Structure 1
Amino acid sequence: MTGTGNVVIVGAGPTGLLLAGDLAAAGVPCTVLERRAEGSGLTRAFAVHARTLELLEMRGVAGELIRTGEKVRWLRLFGGARLDLARLPGRFPYVLVTPQYETERVLERRALAAGAEIVRGAEVVGLRRRDDGVDLRVRHGDGPPRIVRAAYVVGADGVGSTVRQALGLPFPGRSAVRSVMLADVRLTEEPREVLTVGADGEVFAFLAPFGDGWYRVIAWNRAHQAADTEPVDFEELRATVRRAHGTDHGMHDPRWTSRFHSDERQVPSYRVGRVFLAGDAAHVHSPAGGQGMNTGLQDAANLGWRLAAELHGWAPPDLLDGYHAERHPVGRRVLRGSGALLRGALLRPRPLRAARSVLARAATGTPPLARRLARTVAGLDIAYPAPRGAHPLIGRRAPDVPLAGEPGRLFEALRDGRFVLIVAANDPAVTYLATRRWADRVHCALAGGATRTTALVRPDGYIAWATGETAPDRRAAEIRDALTRWCGPPAEHHAHERRQR
């Protein structure tokens, strides 16, 4: 677990596991340290949104996860309003409902198969930054701490992140809702809908299936704001669900109950030197909208290829800084959006609740607004900053466009972790530039449909650069500049540098 070119990830949740799989697949030595001795069968996250499914498809594991859950093609909002997801662009026009432990299982299997090391029962108790790396103090069981050295460390260790605390970073924000009751139960009466939500201003209740006969209940009672340490009274839980839904669905046989509070917080910097924060260690949101796990997985997808490029020696100087620059605004937007949804659900005055319901029905009943809202919930509208005057596609999500030859689609071409240059015509100069001089980090593909756009797609599925139809010489120069900007100098430049040294 030592070396000058390795990455240590703290936390074996979904964020840490996806990042570990990406790094290991890119040939970066990677170790995940997890405080828990065994994986947890409990879960809080259920929703896997469309953009996350696209990221998983780029890694070849979306189908495996989809088989574990149920597809929900619309979401119920306030006052009977329904948000239609069936018209979302792309191959996943729905939200997948599956327990978090299934997501972790799929991602852990991928990480291990790629060569990542996962060490359980390893608690990080300290951190010291060096100019050329990071030293972690790690305790196994009751033994004394020992030093684990890494070139880079990623804290994906949740809301109570030891890594974040060791860096001395603040975690400003507030509690969004207190004393939320959780339980795993069986039901005598199966709900009519996959996701069942109800609220009246005084109580809130949500039901979601595990798929094996057990259901997760999330409930809140304004009249009883108990401490997180207070046990859940099962009769109070049933009464809360009855008030919110009109029935408790014959709830019985709880196998696990707990209380928690939900915060809205975000760390001011996702990077401190050679240490990065991702997932709940960097940002926490209310559970409304099911964005937490999805945002963390997209953090990991954004960071992994950057670290791999740095450790392979071809990263442009500002590539690592781009992680904070792109992901911090997304985390802030999710925090605000999920908080607004939660406060809307818990509105108390009846006139305000009535106005909220009217607005929700108007928004979901107006096609342009409904499409925009659906894309926001699904994560398909996330775009990263582009230079002024740049091509309008730059910074935006790349759809899974068809390609000529094999592989037949863009997401399949992204599975080896390289950039993909999609060319609009079989230009020998373009093909030579991409496949000969940057072949170790760029795959050149011919567009399968009629298009005049040439685009460079990043390993995380966002468009780094694009241009329309131009003269061949000019296009070749533009491509060369774009590849150098995003992918570093060509391979022969590295070979020359090594010979000079």
Structure 2
Amino acid sequence: MTTVDVIVVGAGPTGLMTAAELTLAGARPMVLDTLPERNPMSRAGVIHSRTAELFDHRGLLEPLLATGDFPRTEIGHFAGLPVDYRVWPTRHPAYNVPQGKIEEFLEARLVGGGVPVLRRQQVVNMTADADGVTVTAHGRDGVVRHRGHYLVAADGGRSTIRKILGLDFPGRRGTSTSVTAETVLAGPGSTRQGLMRGRSGHWAIQFPLEERVRRLVVSGPGPAVPKDAEVTADELRAALYAVYGDEVELVGIRRAARIDDSARQITAYRVGRVFFVGDAAHIHLPLAGQGVNTGLGDAFNLGWKLAGAVHGWAPDGLLDTYHTERHPVGARVLANTQTQGLLMDWAGTDNPDLPAARGLLAELLRVPEAMRWMAGMMTGLGIRYDIAGAAEDPLVGMRMPEFDVTVDGERHRAHSLLYSGRGLLLDFTRSEQFSPHARLWADRIDHIHAVPHEDIPTRGMLVRPDGYVCWTSGLQDLGNALRSWFGAPNDDLVARDYPAFQ
């Protein structure tokens, strides 16, 4: 039996990122996956602004982008209507990075760091007790068993772990199917961006994946086709003709698959020692790349909290905040993708009232506040967690803003101060006001004196490892915030240097 701290089931981006966060925090994960190798289909094709920031928090964004030529995207869409991401202050637009590239990059880093990523591991049973979780799998050499303190189910919409636990996956089943394909196209319409509508309820969306290869999604009226049914070239040609006429020619198909409009979300993201992330927790229409980005957000939210539990410092209730923070985010994604499906006429009903609804929404998006709200939702930049103090300070619960600071005479991006994966007490004072508290949690947070290069409306802020502000100087009680997010102070330091804290 192999024993680790955390077993991660599923080697997609969400599972691999969870393992990477655990490793950075000093925990020992293991990743299991059923497939013998990575799925070559690009599937998701965009990293949104907030996900780019999260990768940047770990110093991973530039190395990832260096692995290929990934176009930048500053204009996204909601149901095919343009959404301007630039209305949010961030250094990072969206990047068109195929899911397979993210997986390849993360897996290489994990394996290079000694983390086991085991393939051909078909999980057949899982049992949990008061001390941990045991997984039984059929591996290359027969039946194998793995033991961990916790398990993260990142095994997709058909999650084996969810089924073993007998958990419902409430929502609705898909009623229509569409085709997504990696294609080579030719003709004057082969580089068009955005939603294009055709005859009798047909529509198409295309965007660049890599040189000469376009991601194409097409749909039309008719009954749902089984998801495992083969996609043929004739089928794609007919769909292209219905939307573009003679302006687009199908030159070749690299890969193709079917998707449907299922919308489901698990009721509880945590069940004892088991946590659900990514598609194992929520599935929806794959519109605007929100699936992989939501899953990666799950991973960044959970990883440091789970590592805190492994190391024994996580305060009561910390692990439960994974559900209370991420379940509403997933529910919002389901709601917006279902709305987009209606406005795009995903099912091909050719509803004559839809142009009026789309026109009204397009008019609304010309209002700056509405565009900012929409862009914040689609990019993840607008996520705000319900953290104590949020009602008193607009920074609390939000992502740490992007700004530059001077530390020890050198200029840094504030985001780079999160590379360690630890908490960050960013101190803008020239005093030792926060130092007594900071020393007591020195094994979990970095206390950095800095001079900001722009006006920041606080004398200091406490930032969680996932980049969200959980305290500012305007809230006064730093010790309470540290206890809430980083557990009790170091007992040895308390007894030796700060008896008043006992």
TM-score, shorter chain, exceeding 0.5: yes
How far did 1:349 drift? 4.8
Deviations 1:61-112 (A, max 9, x none): 1123334311122135568x432223321111x3211211111122223323
- 1:46 & 1:451 partners in 2: Cα distance? 35
- 1:163 & 1:72 partners in 2: Cα distance? 36
Contact 2:2 2:145 in 1 (8 A): no
1:105 aligns with 2:108: no
How far did 1:261 drift? 2.4
Specify the alignment match of 2:446 in structure 1.
443
Unpaired segments of 5 or more residues in structure 1? none
Contact 2:77 2:288 in 1 (8 A): no
How far did 1:390 drift? 4.0
SS at match of 1:7: strand
Deviates more, 1:457-466 or 1:446-455: 446-455
Specify the alignment match of 1:156 in structure 2.
154
How far did 1:205 drift? 1.6
- 2:188 & 2:46 partners in 1: Cα distance? 20
- CA separation of 1:126 and 1:421: change in aligned 2, threshold 3 A: same
- CA separation of 1:433 and 1:348: change in aligned 2, threshold 3 A: same
- 2:297 & 2:258 partners in 1: Cα distance? 28
Letter in 2 for 1:85: Y
- CA separation of 1:276 and 1:373: change in aligned 2, threshold 3 A: same
- 1:84 & 1:288 partners in 2: Cα distance? 16
Deviations 1:409-439 (A, max 9, x none): 22111111111111220221413431x3211
How far did 1:193 drift? 4.8
Contact 1:391 1:467 in 2 (8 A): no
How far did 1:258 drift? 3.0
How far did 1:44 drift? 1.2
Q: Choose which of 406, 411, 425 in structure 1 pairs with 2:429.
A: 425
- CA separation of 1:35 and 1:495: change in aligned 2, threshold 3 A: farther
- 2:217 & 2:242 partners in 1: Cα distance? 14
Deviations 1:425-464 (A, max 9, x none): 0221413431x32111111123432445121100001111
- 2:95 & 2:318 partners in 1: Cα distance? 32
Letter in 2 for 1:464: C
Letter in 2 for 1:108: E
1:367 aligns with 2:368: yes
Deviates more, 1:409-418 or 1:207-216: 207-216
- Give matches, 1:1-12, under 5 Å: 2-3=2-3, 6-12=5-11
Deviates more, 1:376-385 or 1:60-69: 60-69
Specify the alignment match of 1:460 in structure 2.
466
- CA separation of 1:248 and 1:287: change in aligned 2, threshold 3 A: farther
- Give matches, 1:214-293, under 5 Å: 214-223=213-222, 225-247=224-246, 249-293=248-292
Unpaired segments of 5 or more residues in structure 2? 497-502
When normalised by structure 1's length, the TM-score is 0.90
- 1:184 & 1:451 partners in 2: Cα distance? 45
Deviates more, 1:207-216 or 1:123-132: 207-216
Q: Choose which of 167, 170, 179 in structure 2 pairs with 1:169.
A: 167
Letter in 1 for 2:163: Q
Specify the alignment match of 2:420 in structure 1.
416
- CA separation of 1:194 and 1:374: change in aligned 2, threshold 3 A: farther
Deviations 1:209-250 (A, max 9, x none): 321322232211213532223322322211212322345622
Total equivalences in the alignment:
485
Deviations 1:224-281 (A, max 9, x none): 5322233223222112123223456221222333333231000111111111110000
Specify the alignment match of 2:49 in structure 1.
50
SS at match of 2:215: strand
- CA separation of 1:349 and 1:253: change in aligned 2, threshold 3 A: closer
SS at match of 1:135: strand
Percent identity, please: 34
- 2:54 & 2:247 partners in 1: Cα distance? 37
Contact 1:21 1:114 in 2 (8 A): no
Deviations 1:378-399 (A, max 9, x none): 1111111134754332211111
Specify the alignment match of 1:398 in structure 2.
400
Specify the alignment match of 1:184 in structure 2.
182
Deviates more, 1:218-227 or 1:261-270: 218-227
SS at match of 2:86: coil
- CA separation of 1:301 and 1:269: change in aligned 2, threshold 3 A: same
- CA separation of 1:177 and 1:252: change in aligned 2, threshold 3 A: farther
- 1:164 & 1:360 partners in 2: Cα distance? 38
- Give matches, 1:175-214, under 5 Å: 175-189=173-187, 193=191, 195-200=193-198, 202-214=201-213
Letter in 1 for 2:440: R
- 1:204 & 1:338 partners in 2: Cα distance? 16
- 1:269 & 1:78 partners in 2: Cα distance? 29
When normalised by structure 2's length, the TM-score is 0.90
- CA separation of 1:266 and 1:349: change in aligned 2, threshold 3 A: same
Report the RMSD for the aligned CA atoms in angstroms.
Answer: 2.4
SS at match of 2:466: coil
1:62 aligns with 2:61: yes
Specify the alignment match of 1:294 in structure 2.
293
